[in-house]
Structure 1
Amino acid sequence: MSKQDYYETLGVSKGASADEIKKAYRRKAKELHPDRNSDNPNAEAQFKEANEAYEVLKDADKKAAYDRFGHAAFEGGMGGARQGAGGFQGQGDFASAFSDVFDDLFGDIMGGQRGGGGRRAARGSDLRYNLRITLEDAYSGLQKTINVPTAVSCTACNGNGAEGDSEPTTCPTCSGMGKVRAQQGFFTVERTCPTCNGLGQTIKDPCRVCNGAGRVEKERALNVNIPAGVETGTRIRLAGEGEAGVRGGPTGDLYIFIEVADHPLFQRDASNIYCRVPVSMADAALGGDIEVPTIDGGRSRVKIPSGSQSGRQMRLRNKGMPALRGGSTGDMFIELAVETPVNLTSRQKELLKEFDRLSEDNNPESSSFFKSVKNFWDSMKG
């Protein structure tokens, strides 16, 4: 039975470019992969044919030979792929094709390092910096300089890890791929190259400053913009301000985690602020005006209604915290705490006792409570 034309197998014209041939092969390999065609008994054979065609057409010399002599160019030991007793062998074997499809499907998920070699410089680590600020800073926002210990690119070797004018060389074990492949039955398993640890390059003469890492430890000063409205747990990302990558690899990011310190006067709940203000018994009973602080450093006068009890709240609109991304501003709530006087003089005690005798009808809540208590005890006796 005559073989199908390689161009027809891949579905491309004879004048197709290398890129068009590659795209056609990947499309055909995905379409015919046996794992996706369990109900098609011919899928594996068709998959191998597509792989064989691609192994020839992707190579410029083999393609030229095929264009001139057809399939005869690879018959009789002329160096091309061949069909052996154990299945399709040579450069176009099934495992190689499966690996290409695996790279195409999952290469981006596995770190984006797929394809034709080159350096596999490792990305630098992300860093975390915990920043503690005051509530006033969270209200107004601030510019702050922080010192971050990190790894920066080595200036002695320009980050490539090699001494002087020397350059890293392609790893002989993995040919610059950063990975080595091993056949395990039906599958080809990829592992990180043990010689270069996945970098794809080796250094014969390491830099004496960084010992070949391409980076050194150093403390950096960074100016950070803290926006108004941040609260504990807010995370700020500074792209590219983390650790430098190994041997010139991309830099990681810096994440700043905000912690807002407790305030001696104010308690925060989201965008609202609460302030507990003690007032005397006389002010609570008679009413009056008090002056309270606000988070912006200003002052506000608040009127206390007569007969106010502990826990009563009064709202000051738009005197709270600003929203993190602009827009509305929270409110401030004044909570009254009626204070019982201490360290009374004899005269003050006499006056309070006299006041208490005259106040039987001025304490409706306590009168109601003790009346309920008396009824309760009477019912228990009965």
Structure 2
Amino acid sequence: MASSAGLALCGRALVVRGGSRLLATTTASSDDDGSLFTYDCSTAEKKSQENKGEDGQPVEKGSDTILASTFSKSGSYFALTDDSKRLILFRTKPWQCLSVRTVVRRCTALTFTASEEKVLVADKSGDVYSFSVLEPNECGKLELGHLSMLLDVAVSPDDRYVLTADRDEKIRVSWALAPHHIESFCLGHTEFVSRIFLVPDHPELLLSSSGRFAASRITYWSRDSCVALLCDCVPVVYIFQLEAPRRQLVYKQQLSFQHRVWDIAFEESQGLWVLQDCREAPLVLCRPVDGQWQPVPEDATVKKVCTQLRGHWAMLEGSAGVDEGFSGLYKATFDNMTSYLKKKEERLQQQLRKKRHKSPPPGPNGQTKKVKAGEASWSGSS
């Protein structure tokens, strides 16, 4: 799956990625452009082992497009994986690239452990590798594997469990200290599981998505127990209220946009940020007003960040046509019965033609010809 533009928030730190580049800034209105940090994966540090993966095989050169990225829990670290099979780790205070490591296969999702000691990356072959944060140049370690492509990975707040979601409808809960030991499976979906999300305020609750319009992002606002859902290739953000005692999501409203929505993320102090395919207004900030979420007009912080993004629009404009979303992961349906009946009818017609071909032609007055050894005679009514 190709990747479109993405958005990540942690505290006041905001990261926008597109293509092979990322832009990191702050949502604090008092800061100026001096706080801007940019990075381009196409110019990432080249290492002697870069041409070999951890299995010793040559690494295929990719497009350097960023496939997945995330902050650590405290926001002190940021990590990304790209199409060239690299894991790049950053320190954020201040921003600095700590390491560039190779991965065995292209990754689909990644997350930090709650302790921020490791980064877990899930790949297309169904494996999860862990990489040390404290030793940023150490090679990765294989932790667990599925038989199908992994689409998301998460860790419980106490670092006790690793949760993985695959394209074969399964969510697997494994012990973090012994990943070969499976605690349980969640088997309620009938299509690939696109996203899984552990609710920070209620770690016993897991949100997951699949279905006709698979979610590309699930984000949570603890101030009002609010869940925002962005579905694949749909310019609509769905807002839900989480009622934890009843363990239910209650639909509240939907926010429709004129442009394609790439990503969404909550900022606890301000509201919901929306990244969209619009150069004039690439970021929209939404807040609840009288119980209804709506865009905030003429906000100084939004203006500042949008100005920064317009100055680096080239990294985003190429994202409009590269994202394939989840369309290639849906089950294919086959009408086997129609094909079977058609072939059966063809066989019957063929058998009938053969039978007619073998029957002797009728003689005079409708007589049929009887053949005996050395002679021929006609029988029938005269």
Judge same fold: TM > 0.5, yes or no: no
More strand by share: 2
More helix by share: 1
Q: TM-score range by the shorter chain?
A: under 0.3
- Considering Cα pairs closer than 8 Å and 6+ residues apart, tell me whether 1 or 2 has the greater RCO: 1
Structure ID, larger Rg: 1
TM-score, with normalisation over the residues of structure 2?
Answer: 0.24
TM-score, with normalisation over the residues of structure 1?
Answer: 0.24
